[in-house]
Amino acid sequence: MVQKKMFLSNMICNTYQYILMSSLMSLVFILLTSDVHAGSVGTNQEEIEMGRRIYMEGISTSGVPLKAERQGAVQLEGVAAACETCHRRSGMGSLEGNIHVMPIAGHYLFDTQENRPLALLDTREAKNVTRAHAPYSEESLAKAIREGVNVSGREMNLVMPHYAMNDSDIKALSAYLKQLSDDLSPGVEEDSLHLATIITPDVDPKKADVMVKMLEKAFEQRNATQEVHSGRMRSPLDLLPRKLRNWDLSVWELKGQPETWGGQLETYYSKMPVFAVLSGISVTTWAPISQFCEQKKLPCLLPNIPLPPSEKSYYSVYFSNGVSLEANVLAKQLRSDDKKVSKRIVQIYSDDEIGRGASKVLKDTFQESDLVVENRVLTDSDASKTKELLKGLSNNDVLVLWLKPKDLMKLTKLMGKNSPDKIYVSGILSDENYSFVTKATKPHVRVIYPYELGSNRAKNMAMMKQWLKSWQIPLVDEPFQAEVFFDALLMTELSSQMLDNLYRDYLIERAEDMLSVGSNVSAYPHLSLSRGQRLASKGAYIARISNDGKLVSESDWLVP
Ligand code: HEC
């Protein structure tokens, strides 16, 4: 029976093959060891701060913008010259086209070779790892920065700019680099990596359960297979040396009002700090969690939520902009059939963060147009009040319902012959449950659907369904579970690339580069991020409900 079970690692192998071509599957043994890094001793805080400004903002110690020359000619100044643009916030480097930008976090420059951890320079090729070199000193660092000559005396690629820097700049920068990504992040221990997932109140217990089951199973598999690289090789990356660390899952269940969540998160975190929050679910707000993640510099990757908080954050990554994306897609659709459209959109929503958020986006979009957008709020009161909401509606109106199935049901039951020709509902809020659709409303209902449809969807779900089946985990909600599945695969892949460099900023950077890998196992047609982006999927379909109850797209994939 055992060999029938699908291993997560096999799946990653499949994912890999889709994306990366199997020519990579050459074995590489690299006989290098890596070590947990010892902390470096106290350097003057002011100097580090001046170094940070050079590194992150391109401002020299004298307060003027940094000046540099690239490719021998292009002048760079200020933030454009900041080291972070290429070497990244973590100092772990990046790939610029096909050019390897070396890691320059302290260990990589100043440690002796045997204390220097190995890092992967190009995730597409396991043989592209950092190479041996003598430790840098302040002088050799200065030479690299001013003249583009590295510690081994080689003239570096001209992508690395030549900087005009004085000695105090070099000193400050050196102090900053010495402490950059020095200690491994909280949540990383000698033999374990701690991760958490979060469940907020009012979530369907079936979904919360299945999420935890899936993550636990994925972690269990990952832990069981990490020692047997050769037997079940996922990718050449797994042959690179690293410490064996068991993944450990904490489930943070929040109770009560959102105002109290911050305190609860703090309590969970102080008992067991985690390296990252993976997945998670909420049907209401996510704002307190995102704030917590930002404050703790804790990556919070890809939860299942109806609407991400609007504040920009560095450490939270989302699948999409939720109902706000849906509202923008709908606006695009309505504008494109402008000529056919009536002069009025009526939107009905519940008076909560999600309903207010979605309806505001739609209303704001049409502010400058001659289309009237009328808001009506569903309250929990009696049926007569609900009936009021439909008052005066005619075939010519566009009706938009930002509601969940039980509320949709209340309204569709009351709709007669005069109901609007087009009734748009949110795919995210409908939760794959279209039982609210009556015979009379069926021809009119359109779902704004932010996931893949049809045969592509079926194809992308096959792997997850097989995995669920082999572990006897029920299929409760397909797009939701596909998100959890994707999260587990992604985390496995990212940690595999990071080797022993378990820094939180580096995890976010890897996620920014990596999200497009594995899109084919999610319910989204395409997932990708680039630097600074935090919303991985950017469009939706407008779909109708066919006679057999399936969704059929009526539009292209619309990206607002
Ligand atoms: C435009 C991109 C870019 C910027 C900006 C940049 N670098 Fe680099 N850097 C590179 C590349 C590419 C290399 C590798 C070149 C090579 O090895 O041929 C590199 C290499 C280095 C090295 C040598 C590393 C080694 O392993 O020998 C050091 C040190 C370095 N950079 C420091 C800095 C500092 C400090 C800054 C900011 C003041 C900076 N770089 C800004 C692209 C950049």
pLDDT tens digits along 81-102: 999 999 999 999 998 888 999 9
Cα–Cα distance between 493 and 490 in angstroms, integer?
5
358 lines ligand 1 (CB under 6 A): no
Max alpha carbon distance in the chain (Å)?
Answer: 83
94 lines ligand 1 (CB under 6 A): no
**Angle CA 81–85–88, to nearest 5:** 135
80 lines ligand 1 (CB under 6 A): no
Given a contact cutoff of 8 angstroms between Cβ atoms, the answer to whether 222 and 245 are in contact is no
144 lines ligand 1 (CB under 6 A): yes
pLDDT band of 517, cuts 50, 70, 90: low
Dihedral sign from CA coordinates of 211, 209, 189, 246 = negative
Residue 22 has pLDDT above 50, yes or no: no
- The residue whose CA has the least distance to atom 10 of ligand 1 is 160
Residue 287 C-beta-side C-alpha neighbours within 13 Å:
12
Residue 272 C-beta-side C-alpha neighbours within 13 Å:
13
pLDDT (0 to 100) of residue 350: 94
160 lines ligand 1 (CB under 6 A): yes
Structure tokens at 470: 């082999």
Out of 66-80, 241-255, 351-365, pick the least confident: 66-80
87 lines ligand 1 (CB under 6 A): yes
pLDDT tens digits along 421-467: 999 999 999 999 999 999 889 999 999 999 999 999 999 999 999 99
pLDDT tens digits along 300-325: 999 999 999 998 899 999 999 999 99
**Angle CA 399–404–407, to nearest 5:** 75
- The residue whose CA has the least distance to atom 5 of ligand 1 is 83
Residue 506 has pLDDT above 50, yes or no: yes
Least Cα distance to 261 among 283, 291, 281 occurs for 291
Given a contact cutoff of 8 angstroms between Cβ atoms, the answer to whether 283 and 202 are in contact is yes
Cα–Cα distance between 96 and 437 in angstroms, integer?
51
pLDDT tens digits along 42-87: 458 999 999 999 999 999 999 999 999 987 778 999 999 999 999 9
Least Cα distance to 181 among 122, 101, 117, 274 occurs for 117
Cα–Cα distance between 377 and 355 in angstroms, integer?
9
CA of 542 to the centre of ligand 1 (A): 47
CA of 144 to the centre of ligand 1 (A): 8
In terms of phi and psi (left: phi > 0; alpha: psi -120 to 50; beta: otherwise), the region of 18 is alpha
**What are the two backbone dihedrals, phi and then psi, of residue 305, each rounded to the nearest 5 degrees?**
-145, 150
Structure tokens at 418: 């005069």
Task: Return the percentage of the chain with pLDDT > 70, whole number.
Answer: 89
CA of 543 to the centre of ligand 1 (A): 49
pLDDT band of 338, cuts 50, 70, 90: low
- The residue whose CA has the least distance to atom 42 of ligand 1 is 160
Structure tokens at 125: 């090729």
Cα–Cα distance between 482 and 486 in angstroms, integer?
6
